Amino acid sequence: MIDGAALAAAPAPRARRPRLLPWAPLVTLALLIGPVAAGLAGTLAPAFGWLPGLEAAPGLSAPGLWPWRDLLAWPGLTAAARLSVTTGLLSTALSLALALSICAAWQGTRAFAAIERALSPLLSVPHAAAAFGLAFLIAPSGWIARAFSPWATGWTTPPDLLITQDPWGLSLTAALVMKETPFLLLMTLAALAQTDAQRARLTAQTMGYGRMTAWLKVVAPRVYPQIRLPVYAVLAYAMSVVDVAMILGPTTPRPLAAQVALWIADPDLALRFRAAAGAILQLLLVLGALGLWRLGEIAGARLCVAWSCAGGRGLHDGPARGAALTAAGLIAGAAALGLAGLALWSVAGLWTFPNALPDALSLRVWRAQAGGLIGAGGETALIGAAATLIALTLTLACLEAEHRHGVRPSTRALWLLYLPLIAPQVAFLFGLQTLAAAVGLDGSRAAVIAAHAVFVTPYVFLSLADPFRAWDARLDLVARSLGAGPDRVLWAVRLPMLLRPCLTAAAVGFAVSVGQYLPTLLIGGGRVATLTTEAVALASGGDRRVIGAFALMQMVAPFAGFALALAIPALVHRNRRGLRHGP
Amino acid sequence: MVRPLRAALLAATAALIAATLSARAEPAPADPDPKDPDPRNWPAVLAEARGQTVYWHAWGGDPTVNAYIDWAGTAVSARFGVTVKHVKLSDTAEAVSRVLGEKAAGRDAGGAVDLIWINGENFAAMKAADLLFGPWAEALPNWRFTDPQANAALTQDFTVPTEGLEAPWSMAQVVFYHDSARLPDPPRSMAALGEWVAAHPGRFTFPQPPDFLGATFLKQALYGLSDNPAALALPEEASDYAAVTAPLWAWLDAATPNLWRSGRAYPQNGPAQRQLMADAEIDLAISFSPSEASAAIAAQELPDTVRSFVMEGGSIANASFVAIPYNASAKAGAMVLADFLLSPEAQARKQDPRVWGMQTVLNVAALPDDARAAFAALPQGAATLPPEALGPTLPEPHPTWMVRLEDDWAARYGAGR
């Protein structure tokens, strides 16, 4: 938590202007938490039987516990809740295990650089696009089956196998692992930069430990606390994801969040109450699973201590290292093939089973959609740029306040920063939509930008905080001794030096903004059409050609952001060799 | 240490809750606003509409449909100075939800939605909750080309009287389509379909209710199996629901284990089902548009061996409509657009299978000569049945049947058996 007392009494006689900077962290947190809290309030009310505006519909406005009774009476509840918990826990555990094993097995090698290069582009692939790609790959009528049919399998029609939409949520879990492993890997890498991992591992290895064992015993315990919040965000996201669950998840019944999203959209207004109760239940499930995960952490820590004390050297880690490399290759390969499949569909004419390639090629979809793609692309870029600018400004203000005034967020403040990522979107966006309409803010581009900023800021903060703090403060001292004031130091020394991490953080934020679906739809009132809202609307039409075209555009937008983040520093720093690879 | 922040947060939350509360304190006025445009004075509507922007919330899942809406918007803009923005929904209920949200928030004017493509339970829900503007539809100039006496679907939306709250723009009728290369002679009754499914496990499915096409399959099947189809015209409470639906559940109990994926997964909507046909995962499928198969062949989505057929004993038919929410920002513009959609020109273009291929709501026989000629000149796709082969039409059952069937289907087959 921000140290409120220190804030109130922040002594700074140097200040010549009204001091706004020390308040930056508090303002930022309020801007992030306000909408979430307000949205939750707007969901809690109907969960207890009260939704203003429904007076005209008879029998629907009596406060009470009846929405909960209605929810409990829904026959699929147990299975839906179980699915949410199992797919969430399983995909998070697998992603974390994979990310850590890949680091343990290969960090510091050339293979690791290759893995990093292969997996990091996956970060900018929207979840829905990755899910569509995977679905086309592994379905019984998908690309893999087509490649082996009919010559190897004898199939002239697809086999009736339950692969996607399986009742255990395994294909859903696979898609989540495919997306979250790269995220956790990059988060681990960022944390590793702070831990002197290389030398610690080497020291352990000189004591006779195997490479993986050394990393897991001496580096992992230092890294995990730093990636704990991202892990929790992954768990919360995986439990309450809607779009991926709609594409790959089971439907009889669906995972709870997907079912709640359908209830919200049902014309039967009575279902809004059940949806609200379900959304609150989803929130409770996420909190419960986080608690469970915390207990697992404690138990895991005990086990690891015992394991470390036992002193096993674990020298024969060849197979484990191979497995980690294979897993990384599988993830990158599945993603690449899935996206290539989508790209091919976007130019396909008729493409029947079991042909591995389209029967005919056609640019019809691209021609027909060109206008829509350009319009939605422009809107996406504008909203993403504005939301990112807000997020970057808030983040820099917070970090500069920390630097100048020592207003340093504690772990608990970081928790609050993560709140928009941890609270399930279905739990607060419906309430937020109602409130935005109440103050007349919905349906405007500005409101959408503000809503995006809520989700973009945490990511920008997380990307930028460590490089910003790692900046050598002695440079500040030198500049100040040469007569520069704190503002001049910021603008003339610090920001130019930190241009690269700033732009990387901006690119991450932009990618997050591009991927936002529910906030854009609900707050934008459907009037604000971005690539993602158009893609999801067209995806409801099920034509893989159109889905492919929009999914590609959805990927191109964040890619462009990342490319700029690489190109601009290279250009600006072309005469500054020492800055080319970051400060 | 924590207190100032926590207090600030509490205060903010309380303020927001208070804002919600105060919104409730002033219930929405239900009376017609004198400032609202009056369709009986059409020149005034046209004058008011000029310069307005109409946000038309319509399902956006089909590029063909989107292109038609785009064309209509361009035409209305050129002729009447009304700008049309197509808000592409993945589900019509999103628009209902939005209007409801606005009403909850006390936004009784200046709403986000100006026109909704709607029918059935969405309309029933909006009408019941007083979320619609009107009556206006029967005062539109082009209404005179319809014949509501002969076509009851124009004024009875799933048996709910429209009362001028929505204007028709498309007719739809249930047909099935099959790939004649894989299945030359499709089953043409529910009993025959049941036998075929038993003999060919894994080769048939339907969109998962409550998707409207899946729910339509249940209703069509009920018509084909029930001994007492007359009961469907009245609310289900008025009849012996269990007895009327027993044959349907018996049929589904027998068929479900032999459906695609043994009934453990379903396509989520009609287009997803069409993709299964394209992937050769299933051999026949239900559709709500007699020209869907031809249009999909033209778009290279389905092989050209696909053909349409109908069930013996009749097929469910209905109309779909456009409605204006009570708090729409551009009511005059929305009416001008709705009237244009009802014009012989727009209707003929919509029925052209190269454009979209949806049946007109107009009484073609009573149109002026040139308009009638335009309809007569329309080509017909190879997979589209001629009108005389479409067989008798059946009215939509009362909406209560759909709700109860969806719930019972979900409890029996949809929620984790």
pLDDT value for A52: 65
Mutate to test the interface with A, among B6, B9, B13, B16 (most CBs of A within 10 A): B16
Question: What pLDDT digit, counting tens, does each position of B163-197 carry?
Answer: 999 999 999 899 999 999 999 999 999 999 999 99
Domain with CATH 1.10.3720.10 in chain A: 20-49+371-583, 82-345
CB contact under 8 A, B415 and A8: no
Say whether B4 and A4 touch across the interface (CB within 8 A).
Answer: yes
Chain B residues with CB under 8 Å of A364 CB are 299-300
Other CB atoms within a 10 A radius of the CB of residue A446 amount to 12
Predicted confidence (pLDDT) per residue in A109-129, tens digit? 898 988 888 888 888 788 888
- Check A268 against B125: CB less than 8 A apart: yes
Confidence of residue B90 (pLDDT cuts 50, 70, 90): confident
What is d(CA A360, CA B101) in angstroms, rounded to the nearest whole number? 46
Query: What is the per-residue pLDDT across B145-169, written as a single tens digit (0 to 9) for each?
Result: 999 988 888 998 888 899 999 999 9
Give the integer Cα–Cα distance in Å for B81 and B79: 6
- For CA atoms A282, A288, A291, A293, the dihedral sign is negative
Distance from CA of A173 to the nearest CA of B (A): 17
Q: Domains of chain B: which residue ranges?
A: 42-170+320-380, 175-317+393-414
Interface touch A266/B92, C-beta < 8 Å: no
Chain B residues whose CB is inside 8 A of the A433 CB are: 98, 101
Beta carbons within 8 Å of A274's beta carbon, 6+ residues apart: A67, A70, A71, A74, A263
Burial class (CB in 10 A: 0-12, 13-18, 19+), A336: middle
Taking contacts as CB-CB distances below 8 angstroms, the residues of chain B near A254 are none
d(CA A565, nearest CA chain B) in Å:
33
Nearest residue in B to A44, CA atom: B17
Min Cα separation A394/chain B (Å): 18
Count the helix, strand and coil residues of chain A and give each as a percent rounded to the nearest 5.
Answer: 75, 0, 25
Rounded CA separation B380/B354 (Å): 9
pLDDT value at residue A60: 58
Q: Say yes or no for a CB contact (<8 Å) between A438 and B20.
A: yes
A123 secondary structure, DSSP code: G
- The number of residues in chain A equals 583
Q: What's the whole-number mean pLDDT along residues A540-549? A: 80
Q: What CATH number matches the domain at A82-345, 1.10.10.10, 1.10.3720.10, 3.20.20.70, 3.40.1440.10?
A: 1.10.3720.10
A541 to chain B nearest CA, in Å? 4
pTM for this prediction: 0.83
Residue B247 structure tokens: 């044959």
Least Cα distance to A314 among A464, A170, A214 occurs for A214
Query: In this complex, do B261 and A165 lie within 8 Å of one another by their Cβ atoms?
Result: yes
- With contacts defined as CB-CB under 8 Å, which chain A residues touch B413? 252
CA B163 to CA A240: how far, in whole Å? 42
- Work out the burial of residue A350: count CB atoms within 10 Å of its CB; fewer than 13 is exposed, 13-18 middle, 19 or more buried: middle
Name every chain A residue with its beta carbon within 8 A of the beta carbon of B95: 526
Read off the DSSP letter of residue B266. Answer: -
Contact B263, B201 (CB under 8 A): no
- How many C-beta atoms lie closer than 10 Å to residue A100's C-beta? 22
- Residue identified by tokens 């019509």 is B92
Identify the closest residue of chain B to A367 by CA–CA distance.
B63
Class of domain B175-317+393-414: alpha beta
DSSP A1-24: ---HHHHHT---TT--S---GGGH
User: What token pair was written down for B395?
Assistant: 């009215």
**B208 interaction partners in chain A (CB closer than 8 Å):** 251-252
B59: left (phi over 0), alpha (psi -120 to 50) or beta: beta
Q: Fold match between B42-170+320-380 and B175-317+393-414?
A: yes
Q: In chain A, which residue's Cα lies nearest the Cα of B300?
A: A350
- Whether B300 shows a pLDDT value over 70: the answer reads yes
pLDDT at B127 over 70: yes
pLDDT tens digit string along B180-239? 999 999 999 999 999 999 999 999 999 998 888 999 999 999 999 998 888 998 888 988
Range A20-49+371-583 has CATH code 1.10.3720.10: yes
CB atoms within 10 A of CB B32: 12
Residue with tokens 């379900």: A278
What is the third-level CATH fold of B42-170+320-380?
Answer: D-Maltodextrin-Binding Protein; domain 2 (3.40.190)
pLDDT in tens, A9-19: 444 445 455 57
pLDDT (tens digit, 9 = 90+) per residue, A284-331?
Answer: 999 999 999 999 999 999 999 999 998 888 888 889 999 999 999 999
The encoded tokens of residue A560 equal 């462009």
A242-269: pLDDT as tens digits: 888 988 999 888 999 999 988 877 767 7
Rounded to an integer, what distance in angstroms lies between the CA atom of residue B89 and that of residue A537? 6
Q: Give CA torsion, residues B371, B338, B58, A277, to 10 deg.
A: -140
Of A434, A529, A542, the CB nearest to B104: A434
Length of chain B: 417
Place of tokens 């700008």: B83
